[in-house]
Amino acid sequence: MTILAENLKLPCGATLPNRLAKAGMSEQLADRAGRPTDTLTRLYATWARGGAGLLITGNVMIDRCGLVEPRNVILDDDRAPAAYKSWADAVHAGGAQMWMQINHPGRVATVPLNRWPLAPSASREPVPGYNLRRPRQLSGSDIQDLVRRFARTAELAVGNGFDGVQVHAAHGFLLSQFLSPLANTRDDSYGGDAAGRRRLLLEVVDAVRAAIGSGVPIAVKLNSKDFQHGGLDEAESLDVARALAGAGVDLIEISGGNYAEPAMTGVHDRGRLAGNNPYFLDYARKVRDVVDVPLMLTGGVRTRETMERIVAEGAADVLGIARPMAFVPDYPARILAGELEPELPKGPPRTGYRPADGYLQLAYHNVQFHRMAKGLAPQVNPGPGTVARAIAVISRNFVSQAVVPR
């Protein structure tokens, strides 16, 4: 028996069956109206049989006027409950729990799907493609509407059979933008200082808790830092973690980076052995020193030996596995069965430009999601055309969803 097979009781009273989770990854498999499709359900049914005790969805958008990518799932009304229930049921049939990751892109809303991005402040994202339009600064009433939307999406998720929700406050999306001194230059109560910058996140957590009750898990995905000079740093992130613990969250998932510096894809870790050096482990240890909330560590976690060591020392309680499950959908089961490190193909070539390299990583893995969604096995040794095919699929999605149905 491995420590990774032990269950974990969360503060709300819910229990995870083991210490391995599929972390959120963007699938881009919804229909044009943002509803889950049969292909998306098939993908998750495959992952549900893969040994992880918990599956966390990719981005589910709280507002159809704000998409991260084309074909994102959207849950902002109760018009099609059967599609969401089928998605959750497919995971439960495989023996895993299903949490919905809820999100708003803010100023990185996808062009051309969103006419006018919203942001904490009217400053552009410094990444080509996202800096074409100056975003509109959110007003006080806009902010309160966003809080209500997060709560409503969480309520609908749980009502449609999901076991919990994860509030996405990392990777440069809207709540992450509010936490960043670079993106948030407001001088009102939602900016100005560290307490103001984290106010919206805490209000969202409180509203979500009120909407779903005390017995349903709430997780938050949090950046260790933004990896940008002047952005969210570790010291301030630790203060956010303390505040989240005080707000009663059940799990904090640790990640890092954003569109300009995609540290979550490993672009800052070239040349090191990722399996023995998870990207954000040092920060996880610092969080453990200041909060008792269960922690989930995602990024570069590959080997059974490393996973067992992290859980045994208490640096994290759950290990998030993301990109490996694009090629080995039963990666968690193999780890639990004793494989030290299931074999994975090499990643795509790097250009040296971090935003482009982050995008290539996502595209390289996304094509495998689409294969599994069609009932095909992932490619064991992807050829040089894999990234090109993935980019072509994403491009077709952009064209087909140029106007989001209302």
The CATH number of the domain holding residue 386 is 3.20.20.70
Place of tokens 């090191």: 272
Q: How far apart are CA 175 and CA 191, in angstroms?
A: 12
Q: Is residue 22 included in any domain, yes or no?
A: yes
Convert the chain into a string of H (helix), E (strand) and C (coil). CCHHHCCEECCCCCEECCCEEECCCCCCCCCCCCCCCHHHHHHHHHHHCCCCCEEECCCEECCCCCCCCCCCEECCCCCCHHHHHHHHHHHHHCCCEEEEEEECCHHHCCCCCCCCCEECCCCCCCCCCCCCCCCEECCHHHHHHHHHHHHHHHHHHHHCCCCEEEEEECCCCHHHHHHCCCCCCCCCCCCCCHHHHCHHHHHHHHHHHHHHCCCCCEEEEEECCCCCCCCCCHHHHHHHHHHHHHHCCCEEEEECCCCCCCHHHCCCCCCCCHHHCCCCHHHHHHHHHHCCCCEEEECCCCCHHHHHHHHHHCCCCEEEECCHHHHCCCHHHHHHHCCCCCCCCCCCCCCCCHHHHHHHHHHHHHHHHHHHHCCCCCCCCCCCHHHHHHHHHHHHHHHHCCCCCC
Query: Which amino acid type is present at position 248?
Result: G
Q: What is the pLDDT of residue 116?
A: 78
Q: What is the pLDDT of residue 183?
A: 94
Q: What is the pLDDT of residue 113?
A: 60
Q: Is residue 327 included in any domain, yes or no?
A: yes
Show Cβ contacts of residue 144 under 8 Å, excluding neighbours closer than 6 positions: none
Tokens coding 222: 């949090």
Is the pTM higher than 0.75? The answer reads: yes
Q: What is the pLDDT of residue 406?
A: 38
Distances 86 to 152, 166, 244, 404 between C-alpha atoms, Å: 20, 19, 32, 23
Q: What is the pLDDT of residue 268?
A: 58
Q: Is residue 391 included in any domain, yes or no?
A: yes
Neighbours of 384 (CB within 10 A): 8
Task: Supply the range of the domain harboring residue 314.
Answer: 3-400
Q: What is the pLDDT of residue 402?
A: 52
Q: How many alpha carbons lie under 13 Å from residue 23 in its C-beta half-sphere? A: 25
How many domains would you assign to the chain? 1
Query: Which residue, 196, 213, 209, 212, is CA-closest to 248?
Result: 209
Q: What is the pLDDT of residue 133?
A: 78
Place of tokens 């995905």: 221
Query: Which amino acid type is present at position 393?
Result: V
End-to-end CA distance of the chain: 51
Q: Is residue 405 included in any domain, yes or no?
A: no
Q: Is residue 406 included in any domain, yes or no?
A: no
Query: Which residue, 26, 194, 170, 22, is CA-closest to 96?
Result: 22
Q: What is the pLDDT of residue 155?
A: 98
Q: Is residue 106 included in any domain, yes or no?
A: yes
CB contact at 8 A, 125 and 107: yes
Q: What is the pLDDT of residue 373?
A: 94
Q: What is the pLDDT of residue 275?
A: 44
Q: Is residue 352 included in any domain, yes or no?
A: yes
Show Cβ contacts of residue 40 under 8 Å, excluding neighbours closer than 6 positions: 27, 29, 30, 73, 87, 373
Q: What is the pLDDT of residue 304?
A: 94
Q: How far apart are CA 18 and CA 3, in angstroms?
A: 9
Distances 334 to 31, 116, 161, 305, 331 between C-alpha atoms, Å: 33, 45, 28, 13, 5
Q: What is the pLDDT of residue 384?
A: 66
- pLDDT averaged over consecutive 10-residue blocks of the chain (406 residues)? 96 98 95 96 98 98 91 94 98 98 92 77 78 86 98 98 98 96 96 97 98 98 89 96 98 87 62 61 96 95 94 97 94 94 75 66 81 91 69 61 45
Q: What is the pLDDT of residue 367?
A: 85
What backbone torsions phi and psi does residue 297 show, to the nearest 5 degrees? -110, 125
Q: What is the pLDDT of residue 270?
A: 47
* Residues forming beta bridges with residue 113, ordered by sequence position: none
Q: What is the pLDDT of residue 227?
A: 84
Q: What is the pLDDT of residue 109?
A: 86
Q: Is residue 162 included in any domain, yes or no?
A: yes
- Helix 354-373 crosses helix 38-48 at what angle (to 10 degrees)? 90
Place of tokens 């008792």: 292
